[in-house]
Structure 1
Amino acid sequence: MDLTDFIRGMPKSENHVHLEGTLEAEMKFALAKRNGMDLPFADVAAMKASYVYHDLPSFLAIYYDGMKVLQKEPDFYDLTYAYLAKAASQNVIYTEMFFDPQEHLKRGVAMADVIGGITRARHDAEQALGIRSQLILCFVRDLSAESAMEALDAALPFKADLVGVGLDSDEAGNPPEKFREHFAKARAHGLKVTAHCDVDQIDTLQNLRTVLTDLSLDRIDHGGNIVQSPELVAIAKERGIYFTVCPTFSGTLRRTEEVPVDIVRAMLDAGLNVTISSDDPAYMGSEYMDDVLIRAVERSALTREDLITIARNGFESAWLPEADKAAMVARLDAYVNAA
């Protein structure tokens, strides 16, 4: 079996995907029509042609503008079910999904509609498609700390539908310690904690140090610059930290490197616990899990053994009971032994 076929058949997890980042252009038009909204594009092709970005801020401008069509509970249901159906079709059997409630709350959308639509789709997809999922509330770090706390407070009545909190959006001037109280409150309510440490940002290594040694987060999203610090690599390995790496958008270190460094390859070679995810596939060429892994085989010189390690890391890093994780790893092992 060649590696492409091996990837397509392999049971997988995805632990770094933004639900709003799976909002395909076709669905934007459908939701806009349902909600009586006009979009400034003639058709799907014109909308997709507008997805031009060169850095994180330019990407985020497109990303946040696109989610305005999400207005009501059925919109969040349709968005979530469409992603889960796509993921299940690629043998993703478990996923942990981010969502950005602050962006919806500030447009007057109720938290009950946001979480309610997502949760209803999660349950329906598990019953119909066999894909298990959990939900992570992300704080939008370039909005105010007060706004993030308001979102957390609004979500806590629905904490049974959440597994953790995260931290995303523009890292510049918004270090993780800005959300110290939010993380502590989430933990007090039994939620796990992660944070984006985006690639080649200002103070990235300091932010990595903060989440590793000060805030002691449970997981790190992206985090590729850690390979530039042997000290931080050692700390991450000692703590057994898992990294959710998204090579489609954050695949290389460039800002301080004479020759670009492939992040996945460098992190694997450093002995770090790497997982791979799609991030925001609707804005990144509609490349979902299979596509990302297939491209990574060539880009990062991945072997069959690397792919197995990455898949196993995905299950072992999941915020699930140990017995559930072991069952998923056993399913992976059975596939590997039979392939």
Structure 2
Amino acid sequence: MCKSSVHAFLQALPKCEQHIHLEGALHPKVLFSLAQRNNIALPKDDPAFGSPEALLARYQRFTSLDDFLHYYYLGMSVLINAADFESLAFDYFEHAQRDGVQHAEVFFDPQAHTSRGIDLSVVLQGFNAARDRAHRELGISTELIACFLRHLPPADCLASFEHDQLQASFMGGQIAGIGLDSSEKDFPPSLFEELFHRAGKLGLKRTAHAGEEAPADFIRDSLDLLGTTRIDHGRRLPEDPALMQRIVEQKTLLTLCPISNVVLRGVEHVSQLPIRQFIDAGVRFSINSDDPAYFGGYILDNYCAVQEAFGLSTKDWDWICRGAIEGSWCRQERKDELLRALDAVMAEWEGKSLVTSNGFTNGVTNGVTNGVNGH
């Protein structure tokens, strides 16, 4: 990945992560530890579950989103007690803190746990305990987002949304908003209008996975039918220039996940993502890890992969990080703190060049790449 001064600069940037599934941060070592602790038998007919190393190796050979989701849902079987959910989430927060994350807006899937007979209070107790620790011990502010699984019937999603404990968390402010995740292309946004309408009536923030597998139409429908103010992924936005201009004018944030898109075969290389196009057009986006334990890259790995592919300047990175902060769902006072931290980093690096491992250089005043073609 990136080397020398490039890595030091990227490490120093105050990061907001807005597309991270806590269940997707279940590292094989943690998975096996929790399986042993809870006396959970892992599948014996799949050699991938022979050891943490074998499972990690299998994660490097995903053939599709559905192939990944198969292991994703199997892994959740080890999460039983509140302490398990706390261990999972705090392991992610420790990784994030080392990578320079100062604010994280984290997803979780209520249905994936209640369908296994796990009481929602157990899930919330564990995740909120980890969030409290992250604030106290690591200085990371957080927001929690309840995602609904679009491959399940919309009626099931509505029933989950109306769960007493979720409603209490919405009203009490412990959960900031809702999202829509899982398999995208066969489950259009129109199926979930009522769910998002109810969330809007409660004043909840709303986001949705769109434009990852499915075309740009899913992005438009998420905005128009679901009332989302953020789009998760959105890599296919350039298919619709008029929609892209609308996204620019509305300052809608996209939460891009570069390594995820490569691992799940959406693109062959990070260099094929429209990152340069987005910067030049004024599209606001953040860079995120998605499911880092499964995709082999936490947030700093994604920053490095983008730098290797595009040879961005410090000016470009200021644009990316500033947009991520401004598009966050935290209070303005916290945004102001993060913006001051970003200004301090940019002042320290003013006039310096970023030299990538392949030798290309970009300076603070050079907002145009040198045509680096990545891998």
Structure possessing the higher radius of gyration over alpha carbons? 2
Using the alignment, how far apart are the partners of 1:32 and 1:310 within structure 2?
Answer: 39
Secondary structure (helix, strand or coil) at the match of 1:194 reads: strand
* Contact 2:144/2:175 (8 A) holds in 1: yes
Structure 1 residues 129-173: Cα deviation after superposition (integer angstroms, max 9, x where no partner): 111111100010001112111221221112221011000010122
What residue in structure 2 maps to residue 300 of structure 1? 310
Which among 157, 160, 164 is matched to residue 177 of structure 2? 164
SS at match of 2:216: helix
1:83 counterpart = 2:96: no
**1:25 and 1:262 mapped to 2: Cα distance?**
28
What's the CA shift for 1:252?
Answer: 11
Bigger shift: residues 292-301 or 107-116 = 292-301
CA distance in structure 1 between the partners assigned to 2:137 and 2:162 by the alignment: 32
Secondary structure in 2 aligned to 1:2?
helix
Between the two proteins, the alignment pairs up a number of residues equal to: 334
- Give the one of 242, 256, 261 matched to 1:231: 242
1:317 aligns with 2:332: no
Deviates more, 1:89-98 or 1:145-154: 145-154
What is the CA distance between 1:110 and its match in structure 2?
0.7
Q: What is the one-letter code of the residue matched to 2:324?
A: G
The C-alpha deviation readout for 1:75-117, integer Å capped at 9, x for no partner, is 1111111111111122211000001110111000011111111
- Corresponding residue of 1:31: 34
* Shift in Å, 1:192: 0.1
Q: Give 2:131's aligned residue.
A: 122
What is the rounded CA distance, in whole Å, between the counterparts of 1:134 and 1:277 in structure 2? 15
User: Do structure 1's residue 262 and structure 2's residue 273 form an aligned pair?
Assistant: yes
Letter in 1 for 2:84: D
For the structure 1 residues 292 and 255, does the alpha-carbon distance in structure 2 shift closer, same or farther, using more than 3 Å as the test? closer
Q: How does 1:109-148 map to 2 (within 5 A)?
A: 109-148=118-157
Q: Which residue number corresponds to residue 192 of structure 1?
A: 205
7, 11, 23: which one aligns with 2:10: 7
C-alpha change, 1:33 and 1:89, in structure 2 (3 Å) is same
Asked whether the 8 Å contact 1:246–1:279 carries over to 2, the reply is: yes
Which residue of 172, 186, 192 maps to 1:179?
192
- C-alpha separation in 2, matches of 1:56 and 1:256: 12
Structure 1 residues 311, 189: CA separation in 2 closer, same or farther (over 3 Å shift)?
same
CA deviations on 1:264-305 (whole Å, 9 max, x unpaired) are: 2232232200110011110111x1111110111011332221
Q: Contact 2:192 / 2:226 at 8 angstroms: preserved in 1? A: no
| Contact 2:148-2:179 within 8 A present in 1 as well | yes
Q: Map Cα deviations across residues 280-335 of structure 1 (whole Å, 9 max, x no partner).
A: 110111x1111110111011332221112111111111002223212211111112
**Residue 337, structure 1, aligned to residue 350, structure 2:** no
Instruction: With the length of structure 1 as denominator, give the TM-score of the two structures.
Output: 0.93
1:218 corresponding residue in structure 2: 229
| Residue 255 (structure 1) shift | 7.7
What is aligned with 2:161?
A: 152
Q: Which runs of 4+ in 1 moved over 4 A?
A: 251-257
Take 1:223 and 1:74, find their aligned partners in 2: how far apart are those partners? 34
* Worse-superposed segment, 56-65 or 275-284: 56-65
Alignment correspondent of 2:366: none
1:105 aligns with 2:114: yes
1:7 offset after TM fit, Å? 0.7
Question: What are the equivalent positions in structure 2 for 1:38-53 lying under 5 Å apart?
Answer: 38-40=41-43, 41-51=49-59, 52-53=61-62
Contact 2:14 2:102 in 1 (8 A): yes
Distance 1:101 1:10 in 2: 32
CA distance in 1, matches of 2:303, 2:242: 29
Kept in 2, the 8 Å contact 1:196–1:220? The answer is yes
Which whole-Å CA distance do the structure 2 matches of 1:135 and 1:39 have between them? 29
Q: Does 1:273 align with 2:292?
A: no
1:326 aligns with 2:336: yes
RMSD: 2.0
**Take 1:116 and 1:35, find their aligned partners in 2: how far apart are those partners?**
18
* Aligned-residue identity in percent: 36
Quick check: 101-110 or 36-45, which moved more? 36-45
In 1, the alpha carbon distance for the partners of 2:57 and 2:250 equals: 43
Q: Is the contact between residue 252 and residue 284 of structure 2 (CA under 8 Å) also seen in structure 1?
A: yes
Q: 1:253 to 1:61 in 2, by over 3 A?
A: closer
CA–CA distance in structure 1, aligned partners of residues 234 and 255 of structure 2: 8
Gaps of 5+ in 2: 44-48, 350-375
> TM-score w.r.t. structure 2 length?
0.85
CA contact (8 A) 1:262 1:300 kept: no
- 1:283 corresponds in structure 2 to 294
Answer yes or no: is the 8 Å Cα contact 2:150–2:181 preserved in 1.
yes
* Partner in structure 2 of residue 94 of structure 1: 103
2:73 maps to 1:64: yes
